[in-house]
Amino acid sequence: MQQLCEQYRPREWAEVVGQDKAISKIAALRKRGLAGRAYWITGASSTGKATIARLLAAEIAEKHDIVEMDGGELTVSAIQQIQRDMLYYGGIWGSGKTGRAWIVNEAHGLSKNAERLLLTLLEPIPAHVMFVFTTTTEGMTLFEETDDASPLLSRCVQIALSRRDLAAAFAARAAEIAQAEGLDGQPNEAYIKLARKCGNNMRAMLTCIEAGDMLA
């Protein structure tokens, strides 16, 4: 049986809570096309980075054409393989999605060599390809071996997830899940306290609920 955090991970945009500004920015970009771009998503742990990255990728690519990895896995040889793979369209006959997407989590772990190669890889990006980088680190000093991320960031659409005013939205969603699973026995105020206690980390909140913390 899946943990609650995976069972209830949003499968569509309407299920994402607390990140209206990020969703609006993506909706504006959708009018001109989401593919052919790289995205740099920053935010605190378990506030929606990986979920939004996967939803973005799913807009242009079938599941088997989406590759997800950590920044430390993006070696020189891995980038060279991506460079070859991105020449080809993805999808299956009649699927309607012919794109290919790469999601790089923990992007602050990119090496200097990887960063240097990405500068070439991301300019230009083929019209059927998407890259999504996610990280909890903000600012221009991001990587382990370099002190300037600006050249790479300038090639990406930067999306900063909300870190504030999430408690109410996260509490409401957590309460819905608790009720659906028969794990609810507390008023709404208790869920807001839980959100604040967990630092607005939805995974941590659902772990507490799964352990029966919100039962009467």
pLDDT reading at 57 higher than 70: yes
Class of domain 19-160: alpha beta
**What is the chain's mean pLDDT, rounded?**
92
Tell me which of 70-84, 135-149, 173-187, 197-211 is least confident: 135-149
Mean pLDDT confidence for 8-29: 96
State pLDDT tens for residues 85-126. 999 999 876 667 899 999 999 998 888 889 899 999 999 999
Q: How confident is the model at residue 25 (pLDDT cuts 50, 70, 90)?
A: very high
Residue 94: the pLDDT is 63
Mean pLDDT confidence for 21-32: 97
Q: How confident is the model at residue 139 (pLDDT cuts 50, 70, 90)?
A: very low
**C-beta of residue 124 within 8 angstroms of C-beta of residue 94:** no
Residue 140: the pLDDT is 44
State pLDDT tens for residues 147-191. 567 889 999 999 999 988 899 999 999 999 999 999 999 999 999
Between residues 147 and 34, which one has the greater pLDDT? Answer: 34
Its pTM stands at 0.92
Among 13, 156, 127, which residue's Cα sits nearest to residue 60? 127
Residue 95: the pLDDT is 67
Residue 91: the pLDDT is 80
Q: What type of residue sits at position 100?
A: R
Residue 50: the pLDDT is 95
CA distance 141 to 133: 15
